[in-house]
Amino acid sequence: MVRLTVYPKRSKMSNKNIEPHGSWDGDFTWHGYFLRTHIKTVTPEYNMNDPSTWPLIRKVIATGNQADHSKTTVPPEYLVYDQNLVRGFRRLQNTQGKSVETSQYMRNLFLHYPFNYDRHGKLREHLHITPNELEEWKKQMSCAVPTRKQEAVTKNATTNDHTNDTATKDVSPEAGFNEIMKMLGSEADTDMIPYTSVVELEEELEKTRKQVSEAKKTAELAEEAKATLDMAYKAACKSYTIRVNGRMRELREYWTKLLSQERTNHGNAKELLVLMKEAMDQEKTRADAAETVVQALKVDLAGHSNDLEKSKKEVEELKAEVKQSSKDISAAKQKAAVAEQQILKILEEMKKKKQSAGSQKRKSSEDVSEAQRKRLKTEV
């Protein structure tokens, strides 16, 4: 599991020293581009042009093959290393003994490892960058387009990491390919073999990040009725991210094996480079397919919005019908109440008539009985 321990965020006042941004405990590789890309994938705020976002690295054992090149190779640039580790990097400590321009050597140490070395190229007592040094570092970075002579000095002075991002921004894949072939044909500098199309892969990765970010913002604006589509979209993004990360891990393992083989057999270099180009084409194809999926999801989202509007109209119509029905029911209740009053009145009239008829009947019976009694008396 990758962990990034982040220190409390400090104020950005100009009189405050810059310190490392957390501690990197994730996978480590001696390939500078792969390491920086992996760190940026886990912590998007990482920026090689902003030292305040650089994490502290405490171990330099390569994940997977457990390789330790601290005796033969300089560490990846634009990161922070524990000072005890820096003292063990022979390529940094022993470079002054070589035929190198000392001033350029000092500038390169500060330019590539500003937390570990000050502007004079001296190892710091503790990890920090002063505000003035930060401004000086930014100026040097803005002027970091080396001449051929400076490139030779830089290569001998501080770096054996050919995957430097700033050094490959203006290099075409064809020029990079030719440079690799020249390097493979030489006997020097065979510890690290560069990745041929860093710029292209970096642009594709940045494009993918932007697409995922835009899609997430669109999903956050969706209403509750679009929850199902939102979940499907997030699942698709998560699946694609997992596939990309998995593919990157596979590529790292794959190239590690190929590079190990390349150190002992340079005759297979051309075939390996062809395989690398095919792998990059496959990654580009996958990225295009992912973009197609995102576009399809956007179309589905638009259709779902239309359905939602129709549903809202139907709900309004049903509300109107319910309101009219309520009025009809109220009127019917009033009519029923009037009819009930009328029925009660009729029943009362019928009851009165019935009582009147009973009284008349009793009176007639009494008259008949009286007449009969009189007749009997007469007969007697």
Distance CA(175)–CA(189), nearest Å, equals 18
H helix or E strand, kind and range, residue 307: helix 269-379
Question: Long-range contacts made by residues 218-221, C-beta under 8 angstroms, separation at least 24?
Answer: 218/298, 218/301
In this prediction, residue 130 has a pLDDT band, given cuts at 50, 70 and 90, of very high
Q: Which of 39, 58, 62 is nearest to 255 (CA)?
A: 62
Q: Would you kindly state where each structural domain of the chain is located, as residue ranges?
A: 1-166
Question: pLDDT (tens digit, 9 = 90+) per residue, 159-217?
Answer: 444 444 444 444 444 454 445 444 434 433 333 434 444 555 666 677 777 777 777 78
Tell me the C-alpha to C-alpha distance, in Å, between residue 224 and each of 211, 227, 229, 317, 343: 23, 5, 10, 21, 54
CB 74 within 8 A of CB 32: no
4-5/56-57 β-pairing: unpaired
More confidently predicted of 13 and 288? 288
Distance CA(340)–CA(146), nearest Å, equals 104
Distance CA(13)–CA(8), nearest Å, equals 15
More confidently predicted of 152 and 319? 319
Question: pLDDT (tens digit, 9 = 90+) per residue, 63-102?
Answer: 777 777 777 788 999 999 999 999 988 777 755 444 445 5
The one-character DSSP state at 18 is B
In this prediction, residue 157 has a pLDDT band, given cuts at 50, 70 and 90, of very low
Q: Which of 280, 225, 274, 275 is nearest to 248 (CA)?
A: 280
Report percent pLDDT > 90 for the chain. Answer: 22
Average pLDDT of 232-253? 88
Q: Which of 184, 6, 165, 189 is nearest to 91 (CA)?
A: 189
pLDDT at 155: 43
pLDDT at 46: 96
pLDDT at 354: 81
pLDDT at 20: 95
Tell me the C-alpha to C-alpha distance, in Å, between residue 26 and each of 250, 290, 335: 16, 27, 81
pTM greater than 0.75: no
- Concatenate the DSSP letters of all residues of 201-250 into one string: HHHHHHHHHHHHHHHHHHHHT--GGGHHHHHHHHHHHHHHHHHHHHHHHH
Distance CA(42)–CA(1), nearest Å, equals 11
pLDDT at 58: 93
More confidently predicted of 161 and 45? 45
Distance CA(134)–CA(52), nearest Å, equals 10
Give the lowest-confidence range in 29-43, 153-167, 269-283, 348-362: 153-167
Q: Which of 137, 91, 96 is nearest to 115 (CA)?
A: 137
Question: Long-range contacts made by residues 351-357, C-beta under 8 angstroms, separation at least 24?
Answer: none
Q: With a cut of 80, say whether residue 373 has pLDDT above it.
A: no
Average pLDDT of 288-303? 89
CB 102 within 8 A of CB 96: yes
pLDDT at 129: 96
Q: Which of 51, 52, 50, 55 is nearest to 39 (CA)?
A: 55
- Concatenate the DSSP letters of all residues of 109-169 into one string: HHHH-TTTB-TTSPBPSSS-B-HHHHHHHHHHHHT----HHHHHHHHHHT---TT-TGGGT
In this prediction, residue 257 has a pLDDT band, given cuts at 50, 70 and 90, of confident
